Amino acid sequence: MLTLDAVLNGLATAADEPAQLLPARQQMAFTLGFHIILVPFGVALTSLTLIAHYRGLRRGDSTALLLARRWSKTAAVLFAVGAVTGTVLTFELGVLWPGLMGTYGAAFGFPFSIEGLFFFLEAIFVSIYIYGWNRLPPWGHFWTGVPVSLSGIGGTASVVAANSWMNQPGGITMRDGKVVDVRPSEVFFNGAFWGETIHMLLAAYIVAGFTVASVYAVGLLRGRDNGYHRTGFLIGFVTAACLMPVQLFVGDTLARDVFNDEPAKFAAIEMVPTTDDHVPETLGGVLIDGEVRYGWQIPDLGSILADFSPSTTIKGLDAIPADVRPSDRTVSIVHLAFDVMVGTGTLLALLAAWFAWLWYRHRRVPHNRWFLRACAVSGLVAVICLESGWVVTEVGRQPWTVVGLLLTKDAVTTEGNIWALFACVLALYCAVGAAAIWVLRSMRRRWRAEGDDNVTVPYGPAPEPEPVAARPGPREQ
């Protein structure tokens, strides 16, 4: 993320930048990058859980119910970690970026209050849902999970509204460096809102779907070929695979929006040094002394992708005033991150197509080992895709924090030793991350010991002497 940028930029600080800038950016990048991995599980894993839950209740499928129960417990652990790391981010906005919050809090801040509302609902219903197993009537319990999914979507939209406002700020009137008037709907539904929000929501579902699928693909590869693993695999994989083509389309549209609305970011993404038509599409490569090096160039394709014609003119980096032009290294990072995002996204789409083909041929969960191996890493690939997407949008905005209004070096705090803070945060997060993985693994160990065929307990979290609460389905009869 931004960390890479900072490292590549060397640890030296430019003369006109506060000493806090570099560590603050690194810390923000690290904590955001950490938190964003948890987001898909808070937002989308609950929906996958509900799909399994629905299936379980509808068809009396105890395997699906067992999956739902275990996923909800996993989601509970990840949700707790996400809740606290999200709180850290709210602290950081004030501690690290007072220039942003103090001046633009009136505009940038209020989408977070809407997010707070959704988060509140999410936290309440997550608790009800997770603790409701076996304690609420089956369908009533199912419905307490629905607000979790819905508020996850609302919360994502609100946070992305704040982020997209930084890319395309609007809806405010400034006087003497102060925000004197705010038009809330223009702030919230800014130019970049819809594209970014839909892109992120789809990404959340895709990451969660592929991650779930990879867990069960590993199980299938190791010979645990049972209904439990097949159902778990299918729910995750099919959700992600169905959304993947949509995501390619949305992403493509979004890139053209960036071309039209954020030419500076587009120049960095496409790594175009000088304004020109017949711009080639550069794959890979870096920018050194203002020149594209080492990349593989496809003639005219850049222009064609931007506006369907080889004669389309793309504004280059030279169109950006020199004092706010991103450095060569920043451009290279944005460009490479974009390539990684598109590359991994395409691979995931191909995987989905492969599945469609195998399913069409065999009508069952594929046994093809190479396919399952690919699935086993698909979760990781999806996370890489997600992270590089955020690098594109965040680093691609530099040197601005709020495009055209606030430079990052003016947003950062001027007090305190942020390197020390960053070191502590790094250690703390590594410990929390390691502990989270450890706990999830120990949960898995326990579940494996319990077995995958939960015949005795079709509904509920613990083997309690309770009657079958779910409607008996055809399978059991």
Q: Is 52 in the site for other proteins (CB under 8 A)?
A: no
Q: Which amino acid is at 83?
A: A
Please classify residue 343 by burial: count the beta carbons closer than 10 Å to its beta carbon, then call 0-12 exposed, 13-18 middle and 19+ buried: middle
Closest CB 190 distance from other proteins, rounded Å = 15
Q: What x-and-dash track marks residues 56-75 binding other proteins by CB under 8 A? A: -----------------x--
Q: List the interface residues with other proteins, window 453-472 (CB under 8 A).
A: 462, 464
Strand partners, 173: 181
Please state the closest distance from residue 12 (CB atom) to other proteins, in A: 25
Using the rule CB under 8 A, is 93 a contact of other proteins?
yes
Among 263, 273, 399, 416, which residue interacts with other proteins (rule: CB under 8 A)? 416
Restricting to residues 128-147, name those near other proteins by CB under 8 A: 128, 130-132, 135-136, 147
8, 18, 105, 297: which one contacts other proteins (CB under 8 A)?
A: 105
Cβ burial 260-269 (10 Å sphere, 16+ → b, else e): eebbbbbbbb
Q: Which of 320, 321, 322, 302 is nearest to 312 (CA)?
A: 302
* 219 touches other proteins (CB under 8 A): no
Among 11, 12, 15, 113, binds other proteins (CB under 8 A): 113
430 near other proteins, judged by CB under 8 A = no
Interface residue with other proteins among 4, 8, 19, 124 (CB under 8 A) is 124
170 lines the binding site for other proteins (CB under 8 A): no
Q: How many CB atoms lie within 10 A of CB 192?
A: 26
- For tokens 């819809």, what's the residue? 194
Instruction: Kindly state whether residue 242 participates in binding other proteins, applying the rule CB under 8 A.
Output: no
Q: DSSP character for 212? A: H
Q: Note whether 181 binds other proteins by CB under 8 A.
A: yes
DSSP string covering 4-60, please?
HHHHHT-S---TTS-TTHHHHHHHHHHHHHHHHHHHHIIIIIHHHHHHHHHHHHHHT
Comparison of 227 and 433: residue with beta carbon closer to other proteins = 433
CB of 31 to other proteins, least distance (A): 10
What is the longest distance spanned by two Cα atoms in the chain? 77
- For 171: left if phi > 0, alpha if psi spans -120 to 50, otherwise beta; the answer is left
- Of the ranges 100-108, 217-225, 229-237, 249-257, which one interacts with other proteins (CB under 8 A)? 100-108
Nearest distance in Å: CB 40, other proteins: 18
Q: What is the DSSP string of 319-359?
A: GS-GGGPPPHHHHHHHHHHHHHHHHHHHHHHHHHHHHHHHH
How far is it, in rounded angstroms, from Cα 348 to Cα 371? 12
Which residues ranging from 184 to 213 are in contact with other proteins (CB under 8 A)?
A: 184
Nearer to other proteins by Cβ, of 311 and 442: the residue is: 442
Interface residue with other proteins among 4, 8, 19, 80 (CB under 8 A) is 80
Nearest approach, Cβ of 121 to other proteins (angstroms)?
6
405 binds other proteins (CB under 8 A): no
In the complex, the smallest distance separating the C-beta of residue 19 from other proteins, rounded to whole angstroms, is 14
399 binds other proteins (CB under 8 A): no
Instruction: Give the side-chain half-sphere CA count within 13 A for 67.
Output: 32
Q: How far is the CB of 464 from other proteins (least distance, A)?
A: 7
CA distance 63 to 229: 9
Shortest approach of other proteins to residue 67 CB, angstroms?
A: 18
For residue 297, list its beta bridge partners. 282
CA-closest candidate to residue 167, choices 409, 395, 412: 395
> Which residues 247-276 are close enough to bind other proteins by CB under 8 A?
none
For 293, list phi and psi in degrees, rounded to 5. Answer: -125, 150
Nearest residue (CB) to other proteins, 31 versus 330: 31
Residue 289 identity = D
Cβ closer to other proteins: 19 or 117? 117
Angle at 263 between CA 250 and CA 315, to 5 degrees: 125
Please say whether the beta carbons of 318 and 274 come within 8 A.
Answer: yes
Query: Is the bond preceding residue 399 a cis peptide, omega within 30 degrees?
Result: yes
Instruction: State which of residues 443, 469, 471, 473 lies at the interface with other proteins (CB under 8 A).
Output: 443
CB of 181 to other proteins, least distance (A): 5
- What residues line the site for other proteins (CB under 8 A)? 73, 76-77, 79-81, 83-88, 90-91, 93-95, 98, 101-107, 109-110, 112-117, 119-121, 123-128, 130-132, 135-136, 147, 179-184, 413-416, 421, 424, 428, 432, 435-436, 439, 442-443, 446, 462, 464
